[in-house]
Amino acid sequence: MTVLVRSLETAVPSTVLKQPEARDVFAAQEGLTRLGRRLVTTCFDAAAIDTRYSALAEFSWDRPDHDPDFFDPSTGRLLTPSTKTRNDVFVREATPLFTDTARRALDNADGIAPADVTHVVTVSCTGFFNPGPDYRIVRDLGLSPSVQRFHLGFMGCYAAFPALRMAKAFCDADPNAVVLVALVELCTLHVRSSNDPDTILGASLFADGAAAAVVTARDLPLTRPAVSLDAFETTLTPVGEENMAWNIGDQGFEMVLGTYVPHIIDEHITGALEPLLARDPSLVGRPHAEIEHWAIHPGGRSIVDKVVARLGLSERQGAPAYETLREFGNMSSATIMFVLERILALPEAEADDAGSPPRASGSPEAGPDSPGAERICAMAFGPGLTVETALMTRRLP
């Protein structure tokens, strides 16, 4: 029995943040020291990001607000709203992102109807409300009121992996299950001006985004590229607990993203991958670059740099992570879904040019070791320091 992600949809809010403009705003804030301004310039310029997206219309120069909460365009000042004010915006802006993205994922899951959904799993670490997004999806999409609902909150950038692992477990237990997974992160609600290097680094990276997927083991023909969920593993590095954290403060959530994180990942990524690769004997002892696709969470450019260099990956294998980072920034848990979407969209010829053997048929029951099966190794990093990894297989119609 093969558990497949049969549809995957992503979305971003409408406000565009151009990295050079955002850099100049943050560098001009009152209270910054000379070192703080230098750190802002360095972090923003080194982030390898061109554009990010925000749910805050106040961040647009084209929409001046007469009573702003987050940003006053008349003065260029970043304001300091309370946690409640920030969370109120989350409730208002995250809800339609959850429901609209989930609806598109369901609409594009051929052979699946709303009445077929048995489980809903929602994910976010950037806001809270109850009845929550799981409830809204059931109500707004007209799902059965008996749908089992689960919400994974405050796990951080790696949370897509527990969500997909949960979906796989439901489908393994019941081959008729249909799981709708939805993730929304509005990280820009919590940006602030500061001289603290961790806060500056977070401000240079984080963005808003949403994703949704339909996961099932139902025996249905493939009509579009899909991903089978083959195996998952979780590892805690022996160091790094104080280097990556996500706390609730009086003026929003406070990100701790230490500059030493890429070095920790560099030292421990090969060990973290060992238990995952051991799940498939054909991968044990092989060079990492022989796995066709790598879905790396782009927590920052230096993180992707370290993973690519340590594992000996090619420019092509690192491209989905780098391109996602450049176009969207770090959208916390939703980001890896953007990377997977990019891998799913790769043209068939590109993989053939990379030297892959002839492809297997589009049968969803074809095993990951079938001739031509395209393996994906995925990973994300978060508080703890937690390393979540997954083996997947790209399947074409």
**Could you tell me the two tokens for 63?**
């929409």
What's the rounded Cα separation, in Å, for the pair 318 and 338? 14
**Could you tell me the two tokens for 275?**
């238990």
Is residue 377 flagged as an active site residue?
no
How buried is 377 (Cβ within 10 angstroms: 0-12 exposed, 13-18 middle, 19+ buried)?
buried
Write the CA distances from 9 to 142, 169, 173, 368, integer angstroms: 19, 21, 25, 24
- Residues 6+ away with beta carbon under 8 Å from 396: 222, 225, 348, 359, 362
| Long-range contacts at 70-75 (CB < 8 A, ≥ 24 apart) | 70/189, 71/25
According to DSSP, the residues that pair with 14 across neighbouring strands are none
**Could you tell me the two tokens for 47?**
């982030």
**Could you tell me the two tokens for 288?**
């990492």
Catalytic annotation, pick one of 43, 157, 171, 377? 157
**Residue in this structure with the two tokens 């409640």, named with its chain if needed:** 84
Bridge-based pairing of strands 148-153 and 178-186 is unpaired
Q: Which of 3, 50, 5 is nearest to 23 (CA)?
A: 50
- For the chain, the distance separating the N- and C-terminal CA atoms, rounded to the nearest angstrom, is 18
What does the angle CA 217 – CA 139 – CA 162 come to, to the nearest 5 degrees? 45
**Stated length of the chain:** 397
Q: Which of 44, 391, 32 is nearest to 206 (CA)?
A: 44
The beta-strand segments (E) located in 71-153 are 71-72, 77-78, 119-124, 148-153
| C-alpha atoms less than 13 angstroms from C-alpha of 114 in its C-beta half-sphere | 14
Is the CB of residue 388 less than 8 Å from the CB of residue 166? Answer: no
Bridge-based pairing of strands 386-395 and 226-236 is antiparallel
Catalytic residues: 157
